């Protein structure tokens, strides 16, 4: 069997660590000497691996300073009649994933009650990622009486569209989206992996069924330098 060249293995390891956020955007990679010691190879082999990452646009070399993780262009995120996270992120050339942090049923807040017209809601919260990098923190709420088994479906499937389809809602569309600019603070900055005071975009959205009944009220906070929200006129 043909063996994978060592430099490719090193490049794959570093690529994975960058995707996981172990070396975030702007971070300096270890020196060639440190990487050579870590992987038990010579500097020439490390140099090949770093060159491959540079050719992919993942790193940039600054003379006299070292090698740094490059910032990727923001992922294009269309806000249209049908907003689907996995489809949008996959279309931007990234691998979508989601980390669920909360699923519970509770009384509706005044804003949620006004949006959905109900007194109890199912809450679905988490972190949306592209290539392992946090892109957004989301909170979606649904009318509890209409979808009594939704929490179990969300816990099992981890996806809103699939879970709602299982509950009998085959399709839903965006009725409105409100976008405001904010600054990242406290736990939200930590979840997004951004510095305190970094710019973020907050969207407040309402989805409806074919009869115009509200089915989902969501608030999402996007990392401002990782996502570009786009709006296209539609019929």
Question: Could you read off the pLDDT of 113-153 as tens digits, one per residue?
Answer: 999 999 999 999 999 998 887 899 999 999 999 999 999 99
- Does position 48 have pLDDT exceeding 70, yes or no? yes
Q: Which CATH number fits domain 75-230: 3.30.70.270, 3.40.1410.10, 3.20.20.10, 3.30.70.2190?
A: 3.40.1410.10
The whole-angstrom separation of Cα 204 and Cα 190 is 21
The whole-angstrom separation of Cα 103 and Cα 217 is 15
Q: Phi then psi for 3, rounded to 5 degrees?
A: -85, 145
Buried b / exposed e over 187-216, threshold 16 CB at 10 Å, is ebbebbbbeeebebbbbebbbebeeeebbb
Q: What percent of the chain has pLDDT over 90?
A: 58
Q: Are 179 and 146 in contact (CB under 8 A)?
A: no
Beta bridge pairs of residue 125: 102, 139
How do residues 67-76 score in pLDDT, each as one tens digit? 988 877 788 8
Pairing, β 66-69 against β 59-62: antiparallel
How many CA atoms lie within 13 Å of 192's alpha carbon, on the beta-carbon side?
A: 28
Q: What is the CA radius of gyration of the chain?
A: 21
Q: What is the pLDDT of residue 33?
A: 96
Token pair 């430099």: residue: 7
The SS3 call for residue 210 is coil
Statement: the pTM of the whole predicted model exceeds 0.75: no
Q: Is it true that domain 6-69 has CATH number 1.10.10.10? A: yes
User: If pLDDT is split at 50, 70 and 90, which confidence band does 2 have?
Assistant: low
The SS3 call for residue 35 is helix
Least confident of 62-66, 120-124, 186-190: 62-66
Q: What average pLDDT does the chain have?
A: 90
How do residues 147-175 score in pLDDT, each as one tens digit? 999 999 999 999 999 999 999 999 999 99
Pairing, β 199-208 against β 173-183: antiparallel
Beta bridge pairs of residue 183: 199
Pairing, β 227-230 against β 75-78: parallel
Q: Phi then psi for 26, rounded to 5 degrees?
A: 90, -10
Q: What is the pLDDT of residue 126?
A: 96
Q: Range(s) for CATH 1.10.10.10 in the chain?
A: 6-69
- Does position 235 have pLDDT exceeding 50, yes or no? no
Q: Range(s) for CATH 3.40.1410.10 in the chain?
A: 75-230
H or E element that contains 67: strand 66-69
Beta bridge pairs of residue 108: none
């Amino acid at each position: 069997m043909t063996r994978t060249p060592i430099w490719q293995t090193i490049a794959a390891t570093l690529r994975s660590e960058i995707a996981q956020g172990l070396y975030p955007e702007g971070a300096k990679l270890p020196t060639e000497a440190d990487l050579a010691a870590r992987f038990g190879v010579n500097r020439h082999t490390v140099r090949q691996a770093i060159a491959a990452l540079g050719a992919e646009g993942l790193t940039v070399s600054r003379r006299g300073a070292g090698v740094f993780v490059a910032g990727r262009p923001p992922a294009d995120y269309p806000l249209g009649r049908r907003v689907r996270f996995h489809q949008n992120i996959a279309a931007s050339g990234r691998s979508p994933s989601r980390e669920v942090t909360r699923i519970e049923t509770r009384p509706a807040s005044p804003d949620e009650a006004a949006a959905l017209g109900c007194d109890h809601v199912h809450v679905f919260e988490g972190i949306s990622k592209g290539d392992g990098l946090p892109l957004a923190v989301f909170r979606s709420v649904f009318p509890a009486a209409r979808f009594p088994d939704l929490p179990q479906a969300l816990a099992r499937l981890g996806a809103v569209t699939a879970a709602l389809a299982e509950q009998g809602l085959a399709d839903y569309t965006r009725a409105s989206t409100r976008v405001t600019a904010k600054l990242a603070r406290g736990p939200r900055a930590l979840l997004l992996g951004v510095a305190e005071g970094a710019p973020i975009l907050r969207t407040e959205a309402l989805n409806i069924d074919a009869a115009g009944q509200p089915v989902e009220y969501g608030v999402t906070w996007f990392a401002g330098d990782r996502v570009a929200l786009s709006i296209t006129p539609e019929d």
